[in-house]
């Protein structure tokens, strides 16, 4: 929210004169910190002088904190340079960082000092924090996972870097209007980000298009086309209560002055004079640009290659800088100094690009380059959804990256020869296992296959998901390389997702455990089980939850104008809007609940459990059904929330523009959260872990990490419903054969929407996806109808459990107590030992 300064008194408009402007970059005392903040306001100004409103105070405070981070950062990299450990480079198209200020002062353990310093300057820390916009560098779980991983790498003192792109406009900012979701560009860089540091000396050329030349020696070289510069911006990532501060390096695409055609410009041809500049700007403009057109596909592939090429050139440059005693390093040592992790298939081009750099630029032969590449690169799979397993048109690949297409063809050829000579029994499987799909209608490059063939390790992100990968998606590869496949169940950072976002609950946990060590050793939460029936803990636990609910109710009123009752059950589903995540099941359940409330007498309503149902998340701009779901939630809310008969017992709120900061408000205030994807389709999910950690109970299917959460917290503390993953294929078959009999309650809910009870918008196209037995966009592929009755029954159990306050609070405590396994510190320790082979490198 934009803060105004009306009524804030004179102090805020100018800097109090009694605080001297003195640079004290490593200040720890509030008075010195206040001086350093004032120094930045005066001598690193970004605004007119004499103004010191919340916005100016935020930027000056951020620069003051950055001083401390830069110092720790320099010490960290100097230490790495001396020790020369093996380092991990984590390549991801998304990093969903959230706000940096609270996290930085929390990890540096200087919250109190900064709060006092800002008071001396006439400001409140809470208000200053609100000035920061979330960095718009990601979309959903994939990007947030990458950010949790960086926090854990730094906290565990591991030598690691993140590499991503510096998107100017992010995915989009979501506005909710009468028409549903509207997308506008994110404005997080409209002013500037005080956390990033541009490295003008770290610039690499990245080529597109062109052709391959064969040199007289027989060597091949990629030439011509267009060359864009990649410029590095570094964002410091501090560990929790440790000196180690690592880096998220983001690449910006640039063209140089020499690419500006002055002659054309003076001739009035302004657009063509700056053609390369405008093409460069497109690369880092938007995350996941629409790819329905040929141009859109080219741009996405450009983005992916830009990330891979710049990052690998940087990694190689760092490797070559180091000499051992006898002269330059041997390339065979590269995998003992470098681990590259591909976060999903988006950075797959790192494989042919590393091969190209080693062969064409460094002069290695194929066998040596292949040995280095396959011992360096590992791949994390995040999905079994066929549409999300990237497949690129061979024609597009050949046009944009001709040399890489040659390399991919050679990898493919050698892989097939290897299978034919060592595994003749797999002959019939080769066409589906190979990298190039030669379907004459649509020849494509299968990126996941390229990753599996070329990486030394492939991992899934939850036990169920990894089992499905081994048994189904990659089963044939498992028979060739049984040890290549691992599971690494995802995790979340307990710093951002409990310690900082729910200070009241954190203090209670620390008090009862008699230690705050749980912040870095989350397994200690298990000791809360000893107090699960303690009446004093129950009272404190409930009051902390109450405070979080009140804060959330205030927020909801501020952003939506809807008044919600903090005494009702807060029931939340927030995640990307997707048919497999089944927000449609949720809202159909709400419609059924509303209809039943309408049919009750006023007396009967009084005995029900009051609920506030909140749904939030972005629908991809071109995903029509997802956008219809957003519209439906809003239309249902508009009717329910203004219905005087039921609005004391039911409210429905769509929370706009879901992002990390919104999650930090919603999750601590939530009491029930919905993780209701069709079993077998959600690789892991990580918001489920955040809710469970905050003592929120889950209603969910046996999918992704839900399976492990239920094991850890106890099945009696989890509201389970729905088909299991192994039943889904049979149920789909039965549906195709016309054997599905819908539950009358399901028919009733759909009919109620069709009756126009929620307005005149035509929801038939959306509801039709649930009808029929087969056909494109029909036949209820995600089993909403099949799971509806068990979902409604499970929701009734929730209502009953919530009435028994003692039972509910005990379940809530046991949920937090069972969440120790889901720390990203555990996940990253496993990656470090079992995939990357890197060790702690603590700054002394």
How many other C-beta atoms lie within 10 A of the C-beta of residue 327?
Answer: 7
The question of whether 690 is a catalytic residue gets the answer: yes
Q: Is 398 helix (H, G, I), strand (E, B) or coil?
A: helix
Residue of 470, 690, 710, 750 marked catalytic:
690
DSSP state for residue 702 in the 8-state scheme: S
Residue 173: its H or E element: strand 173-177
Burial of 594 (0-12, 13-18, 19+ CB in 10 A): buried
**Pairwise CA distance, residues 556 & 564, whole Å:** 8
Residue of 383, 560, 612, 686 marked catalytic:
686
**Pairwise CA distance, residues 450 & 73, whole Å:** 36
**Pairwise CA distance, residues 617 & 627, whole Å:** 10
Report residue 283: phi and psi, to 5°: -60, -45
Burial 689-708 (b: 16+ CB within 10 A, else e): bbbbbbbbbbbbbbbbbbbb
Helices 402-422 and 447-454 cross at an angle (nearest 10°) of 60
Burial 765-780 (b: 16+ CB within 10 A, else e): ebbebbeeeeeeeebb
**Pairwise CA distance, residues 763 & 753, whole Å:** 8
Cα within 13 Å of Cα(179), Cβ side: 6
**Pairwise CA distance, residues 701 & 643, whole Å:** 32
DSSP secondary structure string, 462-525?
SHHHHHHIIIIITHHHHHH-TTSEEE----B-HIIIIIIT-HHHHHHHHHHHT-SGGGT-GGGG
The question of whether 120 is a catalytic residue gets the answer: no
**Pairwise CA distance, residues 580 & 780, whole Å:** 11
Sign of the torsion formed by the C-alpha atoms of 684, 687, 689 and 695 = negative
Residue 139: closest CA among 700, 623, 631? 623
**Pairwise CA distance, residues 444 & 468, whole Å:** 24
Residue 352: closest CA among 312, 323, 393? 312
Length of the chain: 844
Question: For 199-261, what is the HEC assignment?
Answer: EEEEEEEEEECCEEEECCCCCEEEECCEEEEEEEEEEEEECCCCCCEEEEEEEEEECCHHHCC
Residue of 12, 38, 133, 382 marked catalytic:
382
Distances (CA, A) of 134 to 99, 101, 105, 334: 5, 10, 16, 36
**Pairwise CA distance, residues 459 & 452, whole Å:** 10
Q: Where are the beta strands (DSSP E) in 577-680?
A: 611-616, 650-655, 672-675
Beta-bridge partner residues of 372: none
The question of whether 609 is a catalytic residue gets the answer: no
How many other C-beta atoms lie within 10 A of the C-beta of residue 266?
Answer: 10
Residue of 297, 434, 578, 581 marked catalytic:
581
Residue of 79, 576, 578, 582 marked catalytic:
576
Q: Are 640 and 665 in contact (CB under 8 A)?
A: no
Residue of 40, 302, 356, 575 marked catalytic:
575
**Pairwise CA distance, residues 688 & 665, whole Å:** 15
**Pairwise CA distance, residues 418 & 667, whole Å:** 50
The question of whether 606 is a catalytic residue gets the answer: no
The question of whether 821 is a catalytic residue gets the answer: no
* Tokens standing for residue 445: 């490059």
Residue 669: closest CA among 553, 549, 512, 792? 549
**Pairwise CA distance, residues 671 & 698, whole Å:** 8
Residue 37: closest CA among 12, 16, 57? 57
The question of whether 18 is a catalytic residue gets the answer: no
**Pairwise CA distance, residues 186 & 179, whole Å:** 20
Catalytic residues: 382, 575-576, 581, 686, 690
């Amino acid at each position: 929210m934009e803060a105004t300064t009306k009524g804030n008194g004179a102090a805020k408009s100018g800097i109090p004169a009694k605080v001297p402007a003195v640079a004290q970059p490593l200040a720890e005392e509030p008075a010195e910190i206040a001086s350093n903040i004032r120094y930045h306001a005066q001598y690193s100004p970004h605004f007119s002088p004499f103004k010191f409103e919340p916005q100016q105070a935020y930027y000056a405070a951020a620069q003051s904190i950055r001083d401390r981070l830069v110092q720790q950062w320099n010490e960290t990299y100097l230490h790495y340079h001396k020790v020369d450990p093996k380092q991990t480079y984590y390549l991801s198209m998304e990093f969903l960082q959230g706000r940096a200020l609270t996290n930085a002062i929390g990890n540096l353990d200087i919250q109190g000092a900064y709060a006092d310093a800002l008071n001396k300057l006439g400001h409140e820390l809470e208000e200053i924090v609100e000035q920061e916009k979330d960095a718009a560098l990601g979309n959903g779980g994939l990007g947030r996972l990458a950010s949790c991983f960086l926090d854990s790498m730094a906290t565990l003192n591991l030598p690691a870097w993140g590499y991503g792109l510096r998107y100017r406009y992010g995915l989009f900012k979501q506005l909710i209007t009468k028409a549903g979701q509207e997308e506008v560009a994110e404005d997080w860089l409209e002013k500037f980000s005080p956390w990033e540091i541009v490295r003008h000396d770290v610039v690499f050329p990245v080529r597109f298009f062109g052709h391959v030349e064969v040199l007289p020696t027989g060597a091949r070289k990629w030439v011509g086309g267009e060359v864009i510069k990649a410029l590095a911006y570094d964002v410091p990532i501090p560990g929790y209560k440790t000196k180690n501060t690592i880096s998220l390096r983001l690449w910006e695409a640039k063209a140089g002055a020499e690419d500006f055609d002055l002659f054309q410009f003076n001739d009035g041809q302004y657009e063509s004079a700056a053609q390369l500049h405008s093409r460069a700007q497109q690369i880092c403009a938007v995350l996941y640009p629409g790819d329905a057109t040929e141009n859109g596909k080219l741009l996405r592939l450009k983005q992916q290659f830009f990330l891979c090429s710049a990052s690998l050139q940087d990694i190689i440059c760092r490797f070559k800088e180091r000499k051992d005693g006898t002269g330059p390093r041997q390339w065979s040592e590269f995998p003992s100094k470098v681990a590259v992790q591909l976060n999903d298939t988006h950075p797959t081009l790192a494989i042919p690009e590393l091969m190209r750099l080693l062969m064409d630029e460094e002069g290695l032969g194929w066998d040596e380059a292949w040995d280095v590449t396959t011992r360096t690169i590992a791949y994390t799979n995040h999905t079994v959804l066929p549409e999300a397993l990237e497949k690129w048109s061979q024609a597009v690949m050949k046009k944009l990256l001709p040399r890489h297409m040659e390399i991919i063809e050679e990898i493919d050829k050698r892989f097939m020869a290897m299978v034919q000579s060592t595994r003749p029994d797999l002959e019939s499987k080769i066409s589906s296992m190979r990298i190039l799909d030669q379907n004459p209608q649509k020849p494509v490059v299968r990126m996941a296959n390229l990753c599996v063939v070329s990486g030394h390790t492939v991992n899934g992100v939850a036990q169920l998901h990894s089992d499905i990968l081994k048994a189904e998606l990659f089963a044939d590869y498992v028979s060739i390389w049984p040890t290549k496949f691992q599971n690494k169940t995802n995790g979340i950072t307990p710093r951002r997702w409990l310690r900082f976002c729910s200070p009241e609950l954190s203090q209670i946990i620390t008090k009862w455990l008699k230690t705050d060590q749980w912040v870095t050793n989350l397994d200690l939460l298990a000791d809360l089980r000893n107090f699960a029936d303690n009446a004093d803990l129950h009272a404190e636990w409930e009051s902390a939850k109450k405070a979080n609910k009140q804060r959330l109710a205030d927020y909801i009123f501020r952003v939506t104008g809807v008044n919600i009752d903090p005494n009702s059950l807060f029931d939340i589903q927030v995640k990307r809007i997707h048919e497999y995540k089944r927000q449609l099941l949720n809202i159909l359940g709400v419609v059924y609940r509303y209809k039943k409330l309408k049919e009750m007498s006023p007396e009967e309503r009084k005995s029900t459990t009051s609920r506030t149902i909140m749904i939030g998340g972005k629908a991809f701009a071109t995903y029509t059904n997802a956008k219809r779901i957003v519209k439906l939630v809003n239309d249902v809310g508009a009717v329910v929330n203004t219905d005087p008969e039921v609005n004391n017992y039911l409210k429905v709120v769509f929370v706009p523009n879901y992002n990390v900061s919104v999650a930090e408000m919603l999750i601590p205030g939530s009491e029930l959260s919905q993780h209701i994807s069709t079993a077998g389709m959600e690789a892991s999910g990580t918001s489920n872990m955040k809710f469970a950690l905050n003592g929120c109970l889950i209603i969910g299917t046996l999918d992704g990490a839900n399976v492990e959460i239920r094991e850890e917290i106890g099945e009696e503390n989890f509201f389970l419903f729905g088909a299991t993953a192994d039943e889904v294929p049979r149920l789909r078959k039965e549906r195709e054969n016309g054997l599905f009999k819908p539950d009358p309650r399901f028919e009733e809910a759909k009919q109620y929407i069709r009756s126009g009870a929620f307005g005149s918008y035509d929801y038939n196209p959306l509801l039709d996806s649930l009808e029929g037995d087969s056909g494109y966009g029909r036949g209820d592929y995600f089993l909403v109808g099949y799971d509806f009755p068990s979902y409604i029954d499970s929701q009734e159990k929730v209502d009953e459990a919530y009435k028994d306050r003692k039972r509910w609070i005990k379940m809530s405590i046991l949920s937090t107590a069972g969440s120790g396994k889901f720390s990203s510190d555990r996940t990253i320790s496993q990656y470090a030992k079992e995939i990357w082979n890197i060790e702690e490198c603590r700054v002394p």
